[in-house]
Chain A
Amino acid sequence: MEISQIIVNSLIRASELSLLAIGLTMVFDILKFANFAHADYAVLGSFLTYSFNQGLGIPLLVAIVIAAILTGVFGIGIDKILFKRLRTMGVQPVSLMIVSMGVAIALRNILRLIWSSRTKTYHIAIKQPFEILGARITALQLEIIFAGLLSMVAFHLLLHRTTFGKALRAISDNRALASACAIDSEKMIKWMWFIASAYGVIGGTMIAMEHVLYPRLGFDILIPIFCAAILGGIGNPYGAMLGALILAFAENIALALDLKWLLNLGGLFHFESIQLNTGYKPAVSFVILIFVLLLKPTGILRKE
């Protein structure tokens, strides 16, 4: 594969993953538990987008926005019913993690019950791909990269230019001090769930648009998202973006890498091309995750 193609594919994957990873890292940082249902929220949003777009004929972009808002409200609702109660009871974060696993299983199967496990596509017209420096890229993929960049800039502004962002960062740094400064942390947590879930929907829908949509998608992207978030350092949204970028490159390079030259020892042997079986593509992120956890569990970028 051309190097330029690897770069393009990695950028697309990174845009998709980072939008999911920033939400996960925020929740993990502020509420101190790994939300296993995060990816399933995003898939719920993708299915809502699908229904609005295909069933009701709403334009795709508008459908994504409505689905993101609805899923954001859903995220707040689940927090209100389940997590808030446990949080105020002061149970260990591990219990919250197990509850989120239960939410993930139930939600995934509710999606399967409503939309059936058949794969779905958004029926986007396929156009002739462009060629940039030898890499082929479709208009949709360009839009995905653009939307990803735009969302991340918006997220940065949200975090640094609004009172919500400042309050959220204050809670993340020191919760007791934040509440002493009259920051209503429960209200901020509500907004945080909204932002995290809504951003997830944008990322999830992008993945579903580029590939296909099915209820188990949430589980299939869960570990890559965790990998990106932990690799970048939990609690740091920019770290999550960087982690997604590194992971995306690692995935694409691992599959494209041909170890032929290494084993042939300069013409001594004549091995056929030795490449990683494509069946192992999901395993790349799993193995990176395990190694990051073993070697540097704090991630690359520490919290500021």
Chain B
Amino acid sequence: MTIVNFIIYFMIMVGIYALLSMSLNFQVGYAGLINFGQVVFFCIGAYTSSLLATKTGLPLLFCFLSAMIVSGFFGYVMSIPTKSLKSDYWAIATLAAAEVIRLVALNEGWLTGGPFGVMSIPQPLQSLFSMENYPLFYLLLVAMCVVGVYFCLTLITDSPFGRDLKAIREEEDLCLSLGKNTRALKLQAMIVAGMVGGLAGALFAHYITYISPENFWPIETFLMWAMIIVGGRGNHAGAILGAALIQLFNVSTRFIGAYVALGSDSMASLRMIIIGLLIIIFVSYRPEGLIKEKKKVYHLRTSQEE
């Protein structure tokens, strides 16, 4: 692989993970929903799109849209228990739900190919480009998705809806007392997050052209968590920065691995040890992350000032 191709590959992966961490950040940083099963959107998006494309041969645009819809629907399903569960209980439930979906993908071989996964997934508009130029086109596609999602999410979070979500995060009971339907707000937030995650899954599947349950271990969720914790919760730029930094770290340790006399297993463990430590250190010592959330503070005007 030439260096240019490698950089393109790296940037595409940054883009895909940026979508995933923006989706997670939308749940955690805005609505205060602690989702430990974020990988489920990635998984469902990837499987929906690639199965539709390989089994039915429908146009890929349709496959991408279905991936977003199915994944958004799963976001809706996951949001149902939030009405009665405390956030830590819900977090445990999401972790379990993500594992159930991965087990279904692993065991229902008639649909998903079981452990062998889905192979030779078609790539969008492949005939229009040569082999050399295609990755560049895909990078453009991913970049467009990232920019599009960034603007859409910014629009949403700057709207009254976004402020309501932040109010839930800060003080749910107060929000309820103001007559806000917090359940509906959370539900809508999860649908949006699910759609973004599903889009990332579809982009991943059609780029790699081969997916299996191996791609969707729960550890992926915690990579995304590391991204938003390092980058900064509560702002979209932080999520993108975090995705870029964690991916850069991942890739660079792979390069170092070629020069250090350590087995690939040891290098992988070292990498994950550092990811775990990053989560601990950032939450303990810099909980706001690298890019701090801009909070608008409204001061009460007291009568003396007037």
Contact = CB atoms under 8 A, between A and B. Distances in A.
A273 interface: no
B283 to A, nearest CB: 5
Contact of A101 (B89, B107, B279): B279
Interface stretch (B52-60, B194-202, B253-261, B269-277): B269-277
Interface string B212-232: 000000110010010001000
Interface string A86-109: 100001011101110111111111
A223 B95 contact: yes
A215 B46 CA distance: 29
A34 B87 CA distance: 11
B175 interface: no
A130 interface: no
A219 interface: yes
A74 to B, nearest CB: 15
A95 B283 contact: yes
B269 A102 contact: no
A214 B26 CA distance: 36
A124 to B, nearest CB: 27
A226 B273 contact: no
Contact of B36 (A93, A101, A289): A101
A282 B283 contact: no
A109 B273 CA distance: 6
Contact of A106 (B80, B268, B277, B284): B277
B87 A94 contact: yes
A101 B222 contact: yes
Interface string A203-232: 000000000000000010001001100100
A116 interface: yes
Contacts, number: 124
A131 B182 CA distance: 58
Interface stretch (A41-49, A135-143, A290-298): A290-298
B279 A86 contact: no
A92 B283 CA distance: 11
B85 interface: yes
Interface stretch (B96-104, B158-166, B183-191, B234-242): B96-104
Given A110-B269, A113-B266, A113-B273, A97 B88 contact: yes
B84 interface: yes
Contacts of A103: 276, 280
Given A108-B272, A289-B96, A290-B81, 10 more contacts: A34-B92, A98-B283, A101-B225, A106-B272, A106-B277, A106-B280, A113-B269, A230-B92, A285-B96, A286-B96
Interface of A: 33-34, 82, 85-86, 91, 93-95, 97-99, 101-110, 112-113, 116-117, 219, 223, 226-227, 230, 277, 279-280, 282-283, 285-287, 289-290, 293-294, 297
5 contacts: A91-B287, A109-B272, A110-B273, A283-B100, A286-B100
The 6 A-B pairs with the shortest beta carbon distances in the complex, nearest first, are A106-B276, A102-B279, A105-B276, A286-B96, A102-B280, A109-B272
